[in-house]
Amino acid sequence: MKKNVILISVVVILAIFPLFIQKGAEFGGADGEAEAAIGEINASYEPWFSSIWEPPSGEIESLLFCLQAAIGAGFIGYFVGLTRGKYKRKDNVNNKEGQI
């Protein structure tokens, strides 16, 4: 239990620490960086695809990204828990058969 609390504390510190070190910094995504790098390499480049729907604001875009991450984390957590439960149940059945 103590180890879990320490690990969670370290993760929280690592997530919050950059916000205090880089005050006023803009944390942009990789898409903007890639677009700028491509523009430096080839100024005449035109994208061959554009978004079907553009979110009305940056907050909505962040919300959708967080929702996507939460769904993914929920799916992974469910899968890991289901797999762990199957192995535990299998071990319990094997242990009961050995006692008979």
pLDDT tens column, 16-70: 887 778 777 776 677 778 888 888 998 888 888 888 888 888 888 889 989 999 9
Please name which of 50, 18, 11 lies closest in space to residue 31, comparing C-alpha atoms: 50
Task: Determine if the pTM surpasses 0.85.
Answer: no
Measured at the CA of 11, the angle between CA 7 and CA 21, to 5 degrees, comes to 140
Q: Give Cα separations from 45 to 35, 37, 74 (angstroms).
A: 10, 11, 39
Cα 29 to Cα 33: distance, rounded to the nearest angstrom: 7
> Cβ(45)–Cβ(39) under 8 Å?
yes
